Homo-oligomer: A and B are copies of this chain.
Amino acid sequence: MYYLVLPTQQIKLEMAYLQSMPKSVTIKLREKHIGGACQLFFRSSPLKIVRGIAQFMFDETGDRYLDCINNVAHVGHCHPHVVEAGRNQMSLISTNNRYLHDELVILAERLVKTLPKPLSVCFLVNSGSEANDLALRLARIHTKNKDVITLDHAYHGHLTSMIDVSPYKFNLPGGPEKPDWVHVAPVPDVYRGKYTYPDDSQSVELLGQLYADEVGVMCRKSKKEKGGVCAFIAESLQSCGGQIIPPDGYLKKVYEYVREADGVCIADEVQVGFGRVGTHMWAFETQDVIPDIVTMGKPMGNGHPVAAVITTPEIAKSFCDTGVEYFNTYGGNPVSCAIANAVLDIIEEEKLMERAHRVGNHLLNRCEELKHKHSLIGDVRGKGLFVGVELVTDRKTRTPATAEAKHIVNRMREEKILISRDGPDSNVLKFKPPMVFSSQDADRLVDTLDRVLDELKGNTRTVTNLKLEVRVTPIDDVNAEAVLKTNMTQLLKSS
Contact = CB atoms under 8 A, between A and B. Distances in A.
A142 B18 CA distance: 38
Interface stretch (A190-198, A280-288, A329-337, A465-473): A329-337
B35 A325 contact: no
Interface in A107-146: 108-109, 112, 120-124, 126-130, 133-134, 136-137
Contact of A26 (B41, B102, B128): B102
Interface stretch (A70-78, A224-232, A345-353, A474-482): A70-78
Interface stretch (A313-321, A371-379, A453-461): A313-321
A19 to B, nearest CB: 6
B175 A37 contact: no
A322 B38 CA distance: 12
A329 B298 contact: yes
A106 B20 contact: yes
A68 interface: no
Contacts of A5: none
Interface stretch (A79-87, A395-403, A437-445, A486-494): A79-87
Given A173-B323, A329-B72, A102 B19 contact: yes
How many copies altogether?
Answer: 2
A444 B122 CA distance: 39
Given A100-B40, A172-B324, A327-B39, A120 B32 contact: yes
Interface stretch (A45-53, A243-251, A361-369, A380-388): A45-53
B90 A49 contact: no
A29 interface: yes
Interface residues on A, range: 35 or more
Nearest to A306: B305
Interface string A282-299: 000000000000000110
Interface of A: 18-21, 23, 26-27, 29-30, 32-41, 46-52, 57, 70, 72-73, 77-78, 80, 82-83, 86-87, 90-102, 104-106, 108-109, 112, 120-124, 126-130, 133-134, 136-137, 158-161, 169, 172-175, 297-298, 302-306, 311, 316-317, 319-333, 335-336
Which 4 A-B residue pairs are closest in the complex by CB-CB distance? A174-B322, A36-B320, A33-B108, A94-B303
Given A73-B94, A126-B330, A133-B159, 11 more contacts: A19-B102, A26-B105, A32-B109, A34-B123, A47-B99, A51-B93, A52-B94, A52-B95, A78-B93, A126-B305, A169-B324
